[in-house]
Amino acid sequence: MAKVIVDVVLKDEILDPQGDAISRALPRMGFTFSPTSVRQGKSFIITLDHEPGSDELSEIEKAAATLLSNPVIESFSIRVEN
Amino acid sequence: MRVGVVTFPGTLDDHDAARAVRFAGGEALSLWHGDSDLQGVAGVILPGGFSYGDYLRCGAIARFSPIMSAIIPAAEKGLPVLGICNGFQVLCESHLLPGALTRNSELHFLCRDQEIEIVNNESAWTSDFSNGERIIIPLKNGEGSFQCDDRTLNELESNNRVIARYVGLNPNGSRNSIAGITNARGNVVGVMPHPEHAVDPLTGPTADGLAFFTSLMKTRI
């Protein structure tokens, strides 16, 4: 069994008002690590009953580029966990 | 003139869009998301709402529906298409229009009567306005902030592809206060506020939105 995890985040130049709100909330809650910024993203955890082959990984990459992310505003990365 | 009005699961404003078409003197034809036949319509409206529950991203699932598989190539060949609110988001996800709509900068869902200025009256959906005309129509969305990279913004601005801007305070953080844009050919228009809710003073703040629909009636394809 393997999990293929697709992480999607907004590109750096795209305004992220949710991340900004989180960034402002942290010190208000007493956390002292004072981030310079917080960016909010999302993860897709795709479970397979086998190790993905290179063909399947390139298919997942295609799905990530067409459906799971919007390349106009988002970038993605793919990692495999066993 | 027959104008198709698309209904996705979760679409809210299809009836108002159809009514706006009738007010403009056209005939509205309902198009279902699962169909792929445009039935010879002379234009298509993608109305507002929450297609497919806004799951994944606004408009992301709708973009792959059978009806969009028919609309995308037809729009590329010149069929007039107007996307309002969620419809604008679908057009961006379909790459018929550049950029994307993201969360309002203050994170609130906004619902109010909004003044906008028509800055390009050469598109299929704005030709019945005069340039610089200021109108008031409802704005109601949570993800209405128009975002794109600098290169795209320059391209839009230098080629006169912004069709409307918010007047006064920028309500949602849209780049250059953009409320609506068009494609290079001028047949595809996306607009965030809702002209179809402002075609009759009895049910809307004004009748200012009607000219979007009468514009199409004047367009000869």
Tens of pLDDT along chain A (82 residues) come to 899 999 999 999 888 999 999 999 999 999 999 899 999 999 999 999 999 999 999 999 999 999 999 999 999 999 999 8
Left, alpha or beta for A64 (phi > 0: left; psi -120 to 50: alpha)? alpha
Give CA torsion, residues A13, B105, B174, B81, to 10 deg: 110
Q: How far is B189 from chain A (nearest CA, A)?
A: 18
Q: How far is A66 from chain B (nearest CA, A)?
A: 9
First to last CA, chain B: 11
The beta-carbon neighbor of B105 closest among A13, A17, A73 is: A17
pLDDT for the residue A47: 97
Which chain B residue's Cα is nearest to A43? B56
Domain residue ranges of chain A, discontinuous segments joined by +: 2-81
Residues of chain B with pLDDT under 50: 221
pLDDT for the residue A15: 87
Q: What domains can you pick out in chain B, each with its CATH number?
A: 2-218 (3.40.50.880)
User: Does A2-81 carry CATH code 3.30.1280.10?
Assistant: yes
Q: What is the CA radius of gyration of chain B?
A: 15
B interface with A, Cβ–Cβ below 8 Å? 56-57, 60, 64, 92-93, 95, 98-100, 102-107, 145, 147-150, 173
- Rounded CA-CA distance B179/B108 in Å is 17
Q: How far is B205 from chain A (nearest CA, A)?
A: 30
Per-residue DSSP letter, B142 = S
